[in-house]
Amino acid sequence: MRILFLGGNLAFELAEWLKDQGDDVVYTEQKVDLNMVKEHKPDMIISYNYKYLLTSEIIKYPESGCINLHISLLPWNRGAHPNVWSFLEDTPKGVTIHYIDEGIDTGNIIVQKEIFIDENKETLQSSYEILHREIQALFKENWKKIKNNELIPQPQEAGGSIHFKKEFAMFEPFIKQKGWNIPVRQFKERYNSNLKLNTDPYDIE
């Protein structure tokens, strides 16, 4: 299968794994346009940690569709920083492989897995790494079925949640000071405490 793999942080090794399975893979982290897609003539587009949205023309181009690997249990935590928001809002945690449509992480679900993460033991960094290990394992386990169209996609349930990159701006000074290895429990307690005081949750004193 000819695959255009749109990646980012942690994605390259998975693209290399696909090559080892015998697939013809072109990997890029750059923003693509329809002309580039047509040049490569992919049967499928795979997006994993890719920071750009795809146009409707690109989404419709591959015969086998476009799929996305997302580190949340959709429909919860669509969009940016799903791991962080799953802790702050006490929503289900997991990983999802889904078809891409014109919404943000709203396409039909191919396969997903709920993951338990102990917030008393993990940090933001370690929990992020857990989710990426899980989604890569889920993809590898199901790739042949995905490739051969043997899994029946299911529409997402109503509800869920979504967050955008701009919402994370209030955390950035705190993360810059404390680092991503801050314990999840400490990060969450600071957030909840300051919300009760109606102050910026991550205003650095």
> Residue 92 belongs to a domain with what CATH number?
3.40.50.170
Tokens of 67: 């799929």
Beta strands 78-79 and 162-163: pairing type? parallel
Domain limits for position 36: 2-163
In a domain, 82, yes or no: yes
Task: Quote the pLDDT of residue 200.
Answer: 55
Domain count for the chain: 1
pLDDT tens figures, 55-85: 999 999 999 999 999 999 999 999 999 999 9
In a domain, 189, yes or no: no
In a domain, 18, yes or no: yes
d(CA 123, CA 68): 25
In a domain, 203, yes or no: no
pLDDT tens figures, 158-198: 999 999 999 988 888 888 888 999 999 999 988 887 655 45
Q: pTM for the complete prediction?
A: 0.92
Residue 12, C-beta contacts closer than 8 angstroms, at least 6 positions apart: 27
